[in-house]
Structure 1
Amino acid sequence: MKEILEILESNPRIAPKEIATMVGITEAQAASKIKEMEKEGIIRKYKTVIDWEKAGEEYVYAIIELKVALRERTGYDAIAERIAKFPEVRSVRLISGDHDLSLTVRGKSMKDVAFFVAEKIATLEQVQGTVTHFVLRTYKEDGDVLFEKERSERLAISP
């Protein structure tokens, strides 16, 4: 099962026939295992990693760290669940260190992200403080390298 998951994680478009060959089972067995893992929620989603800059779209990403005051009988899960519902929020993680939660947020501009943090996140009752880090460039996303090495324009010198 782990082998199949690793294969799908690196290439979600691979056919069950190819997976079967790679792990030494029949195509029917591979398809059945995949369907079972989808049904059980082990496979949550098939995803495409897009280089939006290359696609001609400009988005601003920011990592927001939150300091949270927990209420009686509610933990981090409740505030994380509430924050996760905002469409601007791409990820929510419980973290160790000086802050409690880390969010990845996407907006059309730095102003949009700043407004979102000021108006929607900082105003939540449990949020005691925020720190915003704007992403200047992404080099690798979900295991995929998003930049190519520049080719040298210099000509080789021969003796």
Structure 2
Amino acid sequence: MDSTEEILNLLRDNARISVEDISAMTKKSVEEVKSIIQQLENDGVIMKYAAIINPEKDSKAKEKVCAEIEIQVTPEREHGFDGIADRIYRFPQVKSLYLMSGGYDLKVIIEGETLQEVALFVARKLSTLQGVRSTKTHFILKTYKENDIVYIEENSDSREGAMA
């Protein structure tokens, strides 16, 4: 593994790791690590540093309503799926957008204040876009794991189970 990939892996695991710690772990100088990170940022490889927040423990996130929407679309001549994807990801409610294989074309993760707000967004904004053939909305009720982080606190019982 080259040093760039090694640094990326360390940052994927912990974006708050210090340059000095990365330097010690990769056996590169602090200046080399800073230079590699700066180049990754300039090249758009590293786009953002963000905290992963447990939605069950964040009162503001608990109040939000999240939904996953499956969308079937008609690809546009000249632009394929990119043109309609461009129109969809510009909505502030859209948190993620994926081109999919299988039974539908696009998967959208959206966030709203209420169930009604999400439903109205789908009915009035998303489903009315030219090229959208159908939508199927799934409300996210609880998050167990996301981005390799398990949100459920395990109340493990260290006693061994008795076998009858």
What TM-score does the superposition give when structure 2 sets the normalisation length?
Answer: 0.88
Query: Which of 17, 32, 39 is 2:35 aligned to?
Result: 32
Q: Could you tell me how far 1:90 is from its partner in structure 2?
A: 0.5
> Partners in 2 of 1:23 and 1:139 — Cα distance?
33
Contact 2:76 2:83 in 1 (8 A): no
Pairing 1:55–2:34 present: no
1:92-112: CA deviations, max 9, x gaps? 000001100000011112111
Question: Unmatched 5+ residue regions in structure 2?
Answer: 158-164
Counterpart secondary structure, 2:129: coil
Counterpart secondary structure, 1:25: coil
- Name the % identity: 40
> Partners in 2 of 1:52 and 1:87 — Cα distance?
19
Query: What RMSD in Å do the two structures reach over aligned CA positions?
Result: 1.4
Q: Could you tell me how far 1:141 is from its partner in structure 2?
A: 1.8
- Equivalent residue pairs, number: 153
> Partners in 1 of 2:76 and 2:84 — Cα distance?
10
46-55 or 14-23, larger mean C-alpha shift? 46-55
Q: In structure 2, what is the equivalent of residue 45 of structure 1?
A: 48
1:65-91: CA deviations, max 9, x gaps? 000012322211111111111111010
Counterpart secondary structure, 1:118: helix
Q: Which letter maps to 2:95?
A: R
Pairing 1:139–2:144 present: yes
What TM-score does the superposition give when structure 1 sets the normalisation length?
Answer: 0.91
Q: Could you tell me how far 1:49 is from its partner in structure 2?
A: 1.1
Runs of 4+ more than 2 Å apart: none
> Partners in 2 of 1:70 and 1:37 — Cα distance?
33
Question: Unmatched 5+ residue regions in structure 1?
Answer: 153-159
Contact 1:52 1:59 in 2 (8 A): no
